[in-house]
Amino acid sequence: MAQAVVGELACIGDRLRILLADSTTFRTLTGTADRTAALAFIHMPLSLDDGTHPPPRATIDPTKGNYEREQIGIGSYILQAQLPLSFEFEIPDSVTDGLELKDIESESELWFLGKVGPILEEMEALAGTGEGVSGETHLNVIRFTQVEGPEPYAEEEQPAEAAGKVPYLWFYTVMFEIR
């Protein structure tokens, strides 16, 4: 049986999922119209490559983050966490069609960053605003830091439909520090 993340850490992860799902760029990229539909593309704790969660997708892995809860008074706590958020997007054929092999990777990277950059900006703008969960604002994002990428998956990790298209599936991981 699959294990689930529970407790406050799960709550923080779920709220990070909601913050991402409220990004209009992420919704456009996933072809979704609202938060509920976008949440289907954001997985926690892991996105399994079993064909049930194809890209575009995002993954939050609490096992690779930090969590701290400090009591500041009777019944009052400050909660702080760091959670990694990974993006995996396929580069559309339209980005690389007609390009020489030497130009494919740089154009693919520009396209990929042209999607991730606005998503991160939108998440930053939404942080601490609105109503992410009933009665509460979105998580307060203190900072985010690049952890890994952006880069294509190794050729042997690319999906079968990527044959002859290099690079095809790209990833990028960002560590979110939230309160």
Centre a 10 Å sphere on the Cβ of residue 90 and count the other Cβ atoms it contains.
Answer: 21
In this prediction, residue 51 carries a pLDDT of 61
2 located within any domain = no
**Reported pTM:** 0.85
The Cα–Cα gap between 177 and 172 comes to 16
pLDDT of residue 105: 87
- Note the pLDDT of residue 169: 84
Is 128 a domain residue?
yes
Range of the domain at 109: 7-178
- pLDDT at residue 10, as a whole number: 63
Specify the pLDDT at position 1: 38
Q: DSSP string of 113-169?
A: HHHHHHHHHHHHHHTT-S-SBTTBPPP-EEEEEEEEEEEEPPGGGS-GGGTT-SS-E
Q: Using one digit for the tens of pLDDT, what is the confidence trace for 110-168?
A: 999 999 999 999 999 999 887 777 667 788 888 989 999 898 877 777 666 666 655 57
Whether 71 maps to a domain, the answer reads yes
Peptide bond just before 62 cis, omega within 30 deg: no
Q: Judge whether 38 and 49 are in contact, CB under 8 Å.
A: no
How many separate domains does the chain show?
Answer: 1
Q: Is residue 110 part of a domain?
A: yes
DSSP notation for 62-119: GGGSEEEEEEEETTEEEEEEEEEEEEEEEPPHHHHTT--HHHHHHHHHHHHHHHHHHH
Tell me whether residue 54 is in a domain: yes
In a domain, 38, yes or no: yes
124 in a domain, yes or no? yes
Residue 1 falls within a domain, yes or no? no
Spatial distance between the Cα atoms of 167 and 170, rounded to a whole number of angstroms: 7
